[in-house]
Amino acid sequence: MHTHASSSSASNGAAAGSDSHAGYAVLHDFCMTLPYGTVALLVGVVSFFVGSAVLKSLAVPLAGVGAGTLALAVLSLKGWKQGKSSAPYTLLTAGKRSCLAAGLWQYCASQDDV
């Protein structure tokens, strides 16, 4: 039994050494953008229908960014299943997040002046 365990761990060590991702987990962009995009889209839609005037002004941009994020996540997932790189989708998603953050920053800064 001990021999079997050591040969098993030796073969696992050899396999782990040949894997370029040994020792850490791989997180694909769509693992985060699918849930994030869904939540952003839902919050935007709900805010539009039941939110206050302030939330309604943010609802459409938030829903749009959520829908765009979901679209990029689905395209990234499809590309990953085909063995393609997801780097373009990751960069586009990061760009969308940056634009949303800048817009929210400007919105919050303008609210301080009022």
pTM comes to: 0.66
Q: Which comes out higher in pLDDT, residue 67 or 15?
A: 67
* CA 12/CA 15 separation, integer angstroms: 5
Whether residue 44 lies inside any domain: the answer is: yes
Asked if the structure places residue 81 within a domain, the reply is: yes
Confirm whether 18 is domain-assigned. no
- Total domains in the fold of the chain: 1
User: In whole numbers, what is the pLDDT of the chain averaged over residues?
Assistant: 78
Confidence of residue 113 (pLDDT cuts 50, 70, 90): low
> Does pLDDT of 17 surpass 70?
no
Cα dihedral 77, 78, 79, 81 sign: positive
Q: 79 is in which domain, residue-wise? A: 26-113
pLDDT at 60 over 90: no
